[in-house]
């Protein structure tokens, strides 16, 4: 079972991603958008981890943010 992050933890992880990975969150979101058409959350996290050598927490935060932004676009 995957761990659930609080909103504060999610924000903190996002803030650390540029320092830890050398890439901005927007770059990672674009990478996910241009990546393979995976449907399940954990598949996307696994792809990011293995394809781009990310830590689990960072990959999960990126995919969670990607899904949040995608859902927000659908509401507009």
| Mean per-residue pLDDT, 45-52 | 97
pLDDT category at 5 given cuts 50, 70, 90 is confident
Half-sphere exposure of 55 (CA within 13 A, CB side): 10
Separation of alpha carbons 25 and 38, rounded Å:
19
pLDDT category at 75 given cuts 50, 70, 90 is confident
Q: Write down the pTM of the prediction.
A: 0.88
């Amino acid at each position: 079972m995957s761990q659930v992050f609080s909103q504060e933890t999610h924000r903190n992880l996002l803030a650390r991603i540029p320092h830890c990975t050398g890439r901005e969150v927007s770059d990672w979101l674009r990478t996910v958008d241009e990546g393979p058409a995976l449907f399940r959350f954990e598949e996307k996290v696994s792809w990011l981890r293995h394809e781009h050598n990310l830590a689990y927490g960072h990959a999960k935060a990126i995919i969670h943010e990607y899904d949040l932004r995608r859902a927000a676009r659908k509401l507009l």
